[in-house]
Structure 1
Amino acid sequence: MARKGRREPRLDRHRIAGGEAELLRDADRDGGWMLLVGGVPQSYVDLGDPTYLDFEYMRLMGDVVDTLGLEGEAFDAVHVGGAGCTLPRYIAATRPGSRQVVLEPDGALVQLVRERLPVKNVRGLRIRVTDGRSGVAAVPDGADDLVVMDAFAEASMPVELATREFVQDVARVLRPGGAYLVNVADGFRLPFARRVAATVRSVFPHALLLGDPGVLRGRRFGNLIVAASREPLPAAELGRRAAGGITRARLVDGHDLAAFCAGAAPLCDGEEITPPVPPPQVFGRS
């Protein structure tokens, strides 16, 4: 999920299991498309340049991917949530030879992407029509270098993909040096994001948080990225990239991350949890 951007008027609409999907052509970039579901931007894809990442949070995810392991080293990756497959396209272009699986429960959305934002030329990529919990449960132990959680039901993160039990299953499928990336959206005072970060920290010994300073201060609704691993993460390099990027971001780790999570209990299966929903004005909805 990302903030509404500068795009051409509505181009076409498609019925999917999750409601209505729209595809908007970017007036400023040839090959650029935005995919929206229920009026909420879900993906930006540049068919001519898969290394171009338009959304702020996706650029932060790209930075994490770039700094993991050796430069250009191939990954085995699982992506929970597919939409336009922006990050899988990026990894395929920057880390040739990677093997990737996207888990997306909406078969109609998958078909739309295959027809209008083709993935057949993305080497090493497979899409499975399945929910995230079932899809990750089917992955063998220690099979992957990266798991990415970027799934939204319109504007909200599915709670069943935020719990400690799910994160433990993610840890099971990761190799010792593997990393977990989570895109979480939240607003005023960030109560949900704090619990998501606390949940991830309860499973992985090393974690950090990346985001826009205004979002991190809980002043506006937006996306934050949680990265975690059993091994230390490249925090210094990520901090430099975040501070020097097109959109300045901030990195939180160590004692600062502990303070961010202070008093926030990990999320658990069976708990009554209501994920945050952005204010209508965030996406220009009335």
Structure 2
Amino acid sequence: MSEAEFVADGDVTWVHVGHHAQSAVSLSDPSYLAFEYVQHLALAVDAVFARPAPLRVTHVGGAGLTLARWVHHTRPGSPQIVLEPDAALTEAVRRELPLPRGHRIRVRPLGGEEGVAALAPDSADLVVLDAYAGGQVPASLTTVEWLGEVARVLAPGGLFLANLGDRPGLRYAARVAAGARDALGPGAQTAYVALHGVLKSKGYGNVVLLASRDALPVDDLMRAAARQPLPTGVVAPRQVLERSASTAPFSAAAADTAPSPAPPP
């Protein structure tokens, strides 16, 4: 496992693993979210679930536990499971960036495949995929088969979020979205939230995929996106379908898998 480096910058501590800054944590202000894609994840959670009611959350990928800390701050009492296979990283994060008192965050030293498979049906209101290895989402965590396990775990009214790195055209995100719709069943909806430049195919960047069996609150998402400090847009479910009507999901059974596109040097 990679050794973590903790770099203090005023009140914010950056967690570096390898050559990548994976997390930014403010112990005094858990509402501070430095990365725009984490802001977009939080935006999506707030659009679907009203504060401060607790949520049952499963995080696939942990690093500095930034989003788990934010959930605890905005929805106290939320039981959260974090699947983070890098036990040494978790130990270092706990030592350097202690979790708040009264939290219900439980970190399991498991990867996304075995970790999600071990969860009970209907046990999560929210599942968040934010797992990277070498700057790419592992191929095994975007197949229609694994997304079927996510669908099994999601309770009625539940939401799946995925932080996906993609190139112009968003073909990778389209295949993950197709898999999520197949896994969640008829009527499932998918949407994207990202910076305008990413949605307009102006460069590599992060796209937050939303998927639910229920109708997504597009108007609320758009209003929240308009309030973001950086120009942020929403691709509504109908537009996602138009972009990817003939797109096939990734499938482990068909030996058709791929990690997310690598970021530029």
Query: Do the aligned residues in 2 keep the contact of 1:104 with 1:110 (CA within 8 Å)?
Result: yes
Answer with 192-201 or 237-246: which moved more.
192-201
Give the alignment's TM-score, normalised by structure 1.
0.87
CA distance in 2, matches of 1:22, 1:92: 25
Tell me which residue corresponds to 2:261: 276
**Counterparts in 2 of 1:274 and 1:68: CA distance versus 1, 3 Å:** closer
Match of 1:227 among 210, 215, 240: 210
Query: Cα offset for 1:152?
Result: 0.3
Unpaired segments ≥5 residues, structure 2: none
Query: Cα offset for 1:263?
Result: 3.3
Query: Cα offset for 1:96?
Result: 0.8
Query: Cα offset for 1:186?
Result: 1.0
**Counterparts in 2 of 1:55 and 1:228: CA distance versus 1, 3 Å:** same
Residue type of the alignment partner of 1:249: T
Unpaired segments ≥5 residues, structure 1: 1-16, 281-286
Q: Secondary structure at the match of 2:133?
A: coil
Tell me which residue corresponds to 1:8: none
Residue type of the alignment partner of 1:276: P
Query: Cα offset for 1:71?
Result: 2.3
Match of 1:218 among 181, 201, 206: 201
Query: Do the aligned residues in 2 keep the contact of 1:140 with 1:173 (CA within 8 Å)?
Result: yes
Q: Secondary structure at the match of 1:256?
A: helix
Query: Cα offset for 1:122?
Result: 5.7
CA distance in 1, matches of 2:198, 2:3: 28
Query: Cα offset for 1:20?
Result: 3.6
Residue type of the alignment partner of 1:279: P
Query: Cα offset for 1:36?
Result: 1.8
Answer with 177-186 or 229-238: which moved more.
229-238
Match of 1:192 among 157, 172, 175: 172
Deviations along 1:201-242, whole A, 9 cap, x unmatched? 222312211011111122211100011111112211111111
Matched, 1:255 2:238: yes
Query: Do the aligned residues in 2 keep the contact of 1:92 with 1:122 (CA within 8 Å)?
Result: no
Task: Please give the root-mean-square deviation of Cα atoms over the aligned residues, in Å.
Answer: 1.4
**Counterparts in 2 of 1:128 and 1:274: CA distance versus 1, 3 Å:** closer
Residue type of the alignment partner of 2:91: Q
Query: Cα offset for 1:21?
Result: 2.5
Match of 2:94 among 114, 134, 149: 114
Query: Cα offset for 1:112?
Result: 0.9
Give the alignment's TM-score, normalised by structure 2.
0.94
